[in-house]
């Protein structure tokens, strides 16, 4: 058993979890809900094992480093963070339905990491610039942020769908099998965006400190840095619009979705469409 | 309204903040699409002469330092400052206010409220400390005309969080300005065994002269088995007036700082020359010279001649060198030596420890940035402020205890600036306390 096998299994279990959560919505059966949660938790544990195993494999190869240093590893970590955040929300808000919207993000990330030809899965030694503990803090903080923004976007989509459907019918009895009320969704969207914002701030800061220890410049306006700042501005604007202008509901749901597009561009688009310092991290 | 007041109000508005932040976000995109800091000819060949001229007018090739981008940043700073000056006093008043001085009617109008009754014969069981303990708070109290007012609060300083975040942005800007005015950035290539006090500024074509010298004693690259570079390492010595002050090995991510100036390992360059070190085993004396490829040299006092006659390389990197060495009139020795590996060579009447190493120049970035710690302070304050602003809330609880005839009434009023639902839920624990009393 090696880490690739475990992470491959994870990819398919996340797909299956997605289907289970969709089944929860379709059949509204308590039992399926329970199964979906257990299944997702197990998939997450398998993924955890896969990540840890990959870590130990790198030590066996004599180039030991935390599995957070290239595109493949960071995408795997992204889906791992996404799922743990989702499970916390599921427990805290006692609702299963959000799973049908968040699990696809984790599955797509894993599928992309596993099957895309752009991404190399081999464990490579680190070039000198990447040998820094700040790199690890940078990746961890950024990806906790990105994962929270993904959850916020998933909830944003859910909010808009629910709002569309609401025109005709009234809420059924509240239960974990139905979409949570719009006000609850709105407040979870806000909380996840705030949470993501704090981690993104920390991610930009750790990145700046790392750059300063490696090159003597904490900010050089390279495209990746600039895009992370644009994303940061975007969420700052969103939080201000909500807090000081009283925006909520659908506009915020839209902003949560657009914000995540900015995150995707920062992480993915910049590597492939623009050039810069970070491009060595892309393969 | 005076003009001054109008200007003040303009800068105190959050609408302006949203506008400025949007402008910054949108214009920043330009610089990520159009390459920055290229030569004028690059832009005219890439975008055509007309467009290039237009770009030059707008400073697009250096847009993050252009007058209009700096103006946007200045606007953001003034906006932050004015907005905070405008609002902070009100917040400070809330933090400092004497909450026991509140009029009774206000308690009835609070966002969260409740009411309980206890019969007079049970009142001896009532203990305010125990009651507030159920919600994890400690009360203070004051006697009123016909009863007692209790008050308790938590997290009042969380109200300063937003202001800390805003202040931190100003501190970061201040640090950046100090760094760019009082600091400098430069680079240099120093060949092994040589020293310099002169660096090339990265901003303009001028040079930077330090009042001390830096010598590169040695540069080493290590490789992984697959040929990827594992580590670049330079041994640097600082010299003042020709005197050695300190020596340190630097690597990428581990620089050397002296007198506020930091030297970063950034690149290297390989030469076709060699650094040749030789130790006479008999006398213990040693000698180090730069040995150009296929040129004979000599150590006269010891009557030894030597040269590198051949070399094997992987790309630019020499792996083995063939050394020719002759001692007096004894026959010459010819042998292959691995790069930078000490070995012993014996001639008929002596033996030598030798090291042949490809010669490199180390590429250093040099930076002086007296503002960087101010920037870090700002970053720390920002994270602290965000934590205070988002994870803590200011919760206040008032409880008015009054006696009316045979029964005692308890009037609760409470509010919080965030997360009302959770607070409301917590306050229901007080219900249990009163239930148990009656
Ligand atoms: C010109 C710039 C800015 C101005 C004038 C401004 C103004 C404000 C104001 C008036 C508030 C509401 C405070 C209150 O009444 O309690 C606020 C909240 C906030 N601001 Fe700003 N702001 C600016 C820029 C920024 C930036 C760049 C950030 C980036 C981190 C930021 C972060 C925040 C946060 C986190 C909050 C709290 C929002 C919440 O509690 O939901 N502000 N800002």
Helix (H) / strand (E) element for B308: namely: strand B304-314
Q: Would you say A234 and A206 are in contact if contact means Cβ atoms under 8 Å apart? A: no
The total number of structural domains that make up chain B? 3
Mean pLDDT for all residues in chain B: 91
Q: Do B390 and A194 touch (CB under 8 A)?
A: yes
| Residue with CA closest to ligand 1 atom 25 | B166
The answer to whether A198 contacts chain B (CB < 8 Å) is: yes
Q: Which residues of B touch A236 (CB under 8 A)?
A: 21
Give the nearest ligand 1 atom to B77 CA: 1
Q: Do A132 and B253 touch (CB under 8 A)?
A: yes
Comparing CA positions, the residue from B373, B372, B365 lying closest to residue B179 is B372
**Which residue(s) pair with B368 in the sheet?**
B184
Q: How far apart are CA B327 and CA B320, in angstroms?
A: 22
Q: Which residues of B touch A129 (CB under 8 A)?
A: 252-253
Q: Would you say A177 and A24 are in contact if contact means Cβ atoms under 8 Å apart? A: yes
Q: What is the 3-state secondary structure (H, E, C) of chain A?
A: CCHHHHHHHHHHHHHHHHHHHHHHHHHCCHHHHHHHHHHHHHHHHHHHHHHHHHHHHHHHCCCCCCCCCCHHHHHHHHHHHHHHHHHHHHHHHCCCCCHHHHHHHHHHHHHHHHHCCCCCCCCCCCCHHHCCHHHHHHHHHHHHHHHHHHHHHHHHHHHHHHHHHHCCCCCCCCCCCCCCCHHHHHHHHHHHHHHHHHHHHHHHHHHHHHHHHHHCCCCCCCHHHHHHHHHHHHHHHHHHHHHHHCCCCHHHHHHHHHHHHHHHHHHHHHHHHCCCHHHHHHC
Nearest to A128 among B35, B36, B251 (CB): B251
For B389, other C-beta atoms within 10 Å of its C-beta total: 23
Which tokens hold the place of B369?
A: 């940035």
Between positions 135 and 174 of A, the ones with CB within 8 A of B are none
- pLDDT 10s digits, A201-255: 999 999 999 999 988 899 999 899 999 999 999 999 999 998 887 788 889 999 9
Q: What is the pTM of this model?
A: 0.89
CA distances from A132 to A49, A206, B155 (A): 24, 11, 37
Would you say residue A170 has pLDDT above 70? no
The answer to whether A274 contacts chain B (CB < 8 Å) is: yes
Give yes or no: residues B205 and B316 share one domain: yes
Q: How many residues comprise chain B?
A: 438
Nearest to B32 among A214, A226, A234 (CB): A226
Q: Do A230 and B255 touch (CB under 8 A)?
A: no
- pLDDT 10s digits, A61-106: 878 888 888 889 999 999 999 999 999 999 988 888 889 999 999 9
pLDDT category, A151, cuts 50, 70, 90? very high
The residue-averaged pLDDT of B189-213 equals 89
Give yes or no: residues B312 and B324 share one domain: yes
Q: Do A236 and B21 touch (CB under 8 A)?
A: yes
Give yes or no: residues B39 and B66 share one domain: yes
In A, minimum Cα distance to B365 occurs at: A215
Would you say residue B33 has pLDDT above 70? yes
Give the nearest ligand 1 atom to B382 CA: 30
Tell me which long-range contacts A268-274 makes (C-beta under 8 A, separation of at least 24).
Answer: A269/A227, A270/A223, A270/A224, A270/A227, A270/B32, A271/A71, A271/A224, A272/A118, A274/A223, A274/A224, A274/B32, A274/B33
In A, minimum Cα distance to B31 occurs at: A223
Tell me which long-range contacts A140-143 makes (C-beta under 8 A, separation of at least 24).
Answer: A140/A68, A140/A77, A141/A199, A141/A200, A141/A202, A141/A203, A141/A206, A142/A199, A142/A200, A142/A203, A142/A207, A142/A228, A143/A74, A143/A77, A143/A78, A143/A81, A143/A203
Q: Which residues of B touch A215 (CB under 8 A)?
A: 264, 266, 365
Which tokens hold the place of B185?
A: 């950035």
Q: What pLDDT does A177 receive? A: 65
Q: What pLDDT does A168 receive? A: 47
Q: Do B14 and A214 touch (CB under 8 A)?
A: no
In B, minimum Cα distance to A204 occurs at: B379
pLDDT category, A122, cuts 50, 70, 90? confident
Q: What pLDDT does B206 receive? A: 84
The answer to whether A236 contacts chain B (CB < 8 Å) is: yes
Give yes or no: residues B228 and B289 share one domain: yes
Q: How far apart are CA B189 and CA A178, in angstroms?
A: 67
Q: Which residues of B touch A134 (CB under 8 A)?
A: 253
CA of A126 vs chain B CAs: smallest distance (Å):
7
In B, minimum Cα distance to A200 occurs at: B383
Q: Would you say B300 and B278 are in contact if contact means Cβ atoms under 8 Å apart? A: no
In A, minimum Cα distance to B419 occurs at: A187
Q: How far apart are CA B220 and CA B234, in angstroms?
A: 6
Q: What pLDDT does B225 receive? A: 81
Residues having CB closer than 6 A to ligand 1 are A 236, 239-240, 243-244; B 14, 17, 20-21, 76, 79-80, 83, 87, 162, 165-166, 169, 389
Give yes or no: residues B14 and B80 share one domain: yes
- pLDDT 10s digits, B161-186: 999 999 999 999 999 999 999 999 99
Nearest to B28 among A125, A134, A229 (CB): A229
How far does residue A208's CA lie from ligand 1's centre (Å)?
A: 22
Which tokens hold the place of B210?
A: 């330090």
- pLDDT 10s digits, A7-27: 889 999 999 999 999 998 888
Q: What pLDDT does B18 receive? A: 92
Give the nearest ligand 1 atom to B418 CA: 40
How far does residue B80's CA lie from ligand 1's centre (Å)?
A: 8
**CATH at B103:** 3.30.310
Q: Do A237 and B21 touch (CB under 8 A)?
A: yes
C-alpha dihedral, B83 to B87 to B88 to B90, nearest 10°: 170
Give yes or no: residues B301 and B403 share one domain: no
Nearest to A215 among B14, B33, B266 (CB): B266
Q: Would you say B161 and A243 are in contact if contact means Cβ atoms under 8 Å apart? A: no
Assigned domain for B314 exists: yes
Nearest to A216 among B29, B226, B264 (CB): B264
Give yes or no: residues B14 and B68 share one domain: yes
Assigned domain for B189 exists: yes
What share of chain A in percent tops pLDDT 90?
Answer: 54
Q: Do A233 and B21 touch (CB under 8 A)?
A: yes
Between positions 103 and 132 of A, the ones with CB within 8 A of B are 124-125, 127-129, 131-132
CA of B69 vs chain A CAs: smallest distance (Å):
13
The domain in which residue B142 lies consists of 97-155+393-437
Q: Do A129 and B372 touch (CB under 8 A)?
A: no
Q: Would you say B258 and B212 are in contact if contact means Cβ atoms under 8 Å apart? A: yes
- pLDDT 10s digits, B244-275: 999 999 999 899 999 999 999 999 998 989 99
Assigned domain for B381 exists: no
- pLDDT 10s digits, B277-330: 999 888 889 999 999 999 999 888 888 999 999 999 887 888 899 999 998 888
- pLDDT 10s digits, B48-104: 889 898 999 999 988 999 999 999 999 999 999 999 999 999 999 999 988 888 888
The residue-averaged pLDDT of B352-363 equals 93
Nearest to B367 among A125, A217, A236 (CB): A217
Q: How far apart are CA B40 and CA B56, in angstroms?
A: 8
Q: Do B252 and A214 touch (CB under 8 A)?
A: yes
How far does residue B13's CA lie from ligand 1's centre (Å)?
A: 11
Q: Best mutation site among A240, A245, A247, A248 for ligand 1, i.e. most ligand atoms within 8 A of its Cβ? A: A240
Q: What pLDDT does A2 receive? A: 84
Residue B334 vs residue B404, higher pLDDT: B334
Give yes or no: residues B287 and B320 share one domain: yes
Assigned domain for B228 exists: yes
Extract the runs of DSSP E, i.e. beta strands, from B160-280: 184-191, 195-201, 207-223, 229-240, 243-251, 256-258, 261-280
Sorted by where each begins, the domain ranges of chain A are: 1-123, 130-283
Give yes or no: residues B20 and B90 share one domain: yes
Assigned domain for B377 exists: no
Helix (H) / strand (E) element for B427: namely: helix B420-427
Q: What pLDDT does A275 receive? A: 59
Between positions 9 and 48 of A, the ones with CB within 8 A of B are none
What share of chain B in percent tops pLDDT 90?
Answer: 56
Q: Which of B32, B75, B266 is most worth mutating to test chain A (most A CB atoms within 10 A of its CB)?
A: B32
Q: What pLDDT does A169 receive? A: 52
Q: Do A219 and B24 touch (CB under 8 A)?
A: no
Q: Do B64 and A221 touch (CB under 8 A)?
A: yes
Would you say residue A167 has pLDDT above 70? no
Mean pLDDT for all residues in chain A: 87
């Amino acid at each position: 058993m090696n880490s690739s096998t475990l992470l491959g299994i994870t990819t398919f279990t996340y797909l299956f979890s997605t289907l289970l959560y969709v089944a929860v919505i379709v059949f509204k059966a308590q039992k399926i809900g329970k199964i979906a949660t257990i299944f997702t938790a197990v998939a997450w544990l398998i993924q955890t094992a896969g990540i840890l195993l990959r870590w130990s494999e790198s030590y066996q190869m004599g180039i030991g480093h935390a599995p957070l240093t290239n595109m493949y590893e960071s995408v795997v970590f992204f889906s791992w963070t996404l799922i743990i955040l989702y499970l916390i929300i599921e427990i805290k808000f006692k609702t299963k339905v959000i799973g049908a919207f968040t699990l696809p993000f984790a599955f797509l990330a894993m599928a992309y990491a596993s099957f895309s030809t752009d991404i190399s899965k081999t464990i490579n030694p680190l070039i000198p610039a990447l040998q820094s503990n700040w790199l690890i803090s940078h990746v961890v903080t950024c990806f906790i942020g990105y994962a929270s923004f993904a959850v916020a976007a998933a909830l944003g989509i859910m909010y808009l769908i629910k709002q569309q459907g609401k025109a005709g019918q009234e809420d059924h009895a509240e239960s974990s099998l139905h979409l949570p009320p719009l006000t609850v969704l709105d407040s979870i969207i806000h909380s996840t965006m705030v949470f993501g914002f704090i981690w993104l701030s920390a991610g930009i800061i750790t990145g700046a400190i790392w750059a300063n220890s490696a090159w003597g410049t904490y900010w050089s306006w390279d495209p990746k840095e600039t895009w992370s700042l644009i994303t940061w501005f975007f969420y700052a604007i969103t939080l201000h619009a909500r807090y000081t202008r009283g925006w909520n509901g659908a506009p915020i749901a839209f902003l949560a979705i657009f914000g995540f597009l900015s995150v995707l561009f920062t992480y993915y688009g910049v590597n492939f469409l623009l050039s810069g310092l970070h491009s060595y991290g892309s393969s | 309204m005076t003009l001054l007041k109008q200007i003040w109000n303009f800068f105190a508005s959050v609408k302006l903040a949203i506008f400025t932040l949007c402008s910054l976000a949108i214009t920043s995109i330009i610089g990520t699409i159009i390459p920055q800091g290229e030569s004028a000819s690059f832009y005219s060949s890439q975008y055509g002469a007309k467009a290039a001229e237009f770009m030059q007018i707008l400073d697009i090739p250096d847009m993050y330092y252009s007058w209009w981008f700096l103006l946007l940043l200045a606007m953001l700073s003034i906006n932050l400052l004015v907005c905070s000056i405008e609002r902070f006093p009100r917040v400070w008043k809330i933090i400092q206010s004497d909450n026991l001085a509140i009029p009774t009617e206000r308690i009835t109008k609070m966002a969260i409220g409740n009411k309980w009754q206890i019969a007079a014969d049970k009142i001896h069981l009532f203990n305010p400390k125990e009651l507030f303990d159920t919600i994890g708070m400690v009360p203070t109290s004051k006697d009123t005309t016909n009863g007692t007012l209790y008050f308790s609060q938590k997290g009042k300083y969380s109200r300063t969080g937003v202001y800390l975040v805003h202040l931190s942005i100003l501190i970061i800007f201040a640090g950046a300005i100090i760094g760019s005015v009082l600091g400098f950035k430069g680079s240099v290539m120093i060949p092994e065994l040589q020293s310099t006090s002169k660096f090339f500024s990265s901003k303009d074509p001028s040079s930077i002269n330090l009042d001390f010298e830096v010598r590169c004693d040695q540069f080493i690259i290590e490789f992984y088995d697959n040929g990827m570079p594992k580590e670049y390492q330079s041994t640097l010595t600082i010299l003042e007036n020709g005197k050695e002050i300190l020596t340190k090995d630097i690597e990428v991510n581990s620089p050397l700082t002296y007198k506020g100036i930091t030297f970063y390992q950034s690149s290297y360059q390989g030469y076709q020359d060699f650094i040749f070190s030789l130790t006479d085993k008999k006398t213990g004396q040693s000698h180090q010279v730069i040995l150009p490829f296929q040129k004979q040299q000599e150590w006269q006092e010891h009557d030894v001649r030597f040269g590198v006659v051949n070399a094997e390389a992987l790309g630019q990197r020499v792996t083995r060198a063939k050394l020719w060495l002759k001692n007096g009139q004894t026959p010459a020795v010819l042998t292959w030596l691995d790069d930078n590996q000490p070995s012993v060579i014996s001639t008929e009447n002596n033996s030598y420890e030798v090291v042949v190493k490809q010669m490199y120049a180390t590429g250093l970035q040099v930076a002086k940035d007296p503002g960087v710690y101010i920037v870090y302070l700002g970053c720390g304050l920002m994270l602290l402020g965000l934590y205070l602003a988002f994870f803590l809330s200011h919760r206040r609880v008032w409880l008015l205890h009054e006696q009316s005839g045979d029964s005692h009434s308890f009037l609760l009023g409470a509010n919080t600036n965030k997360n009302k639902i959770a607070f409301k839920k917590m306050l229901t624990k007080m219900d249990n306390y009163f239930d148990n009393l009656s």
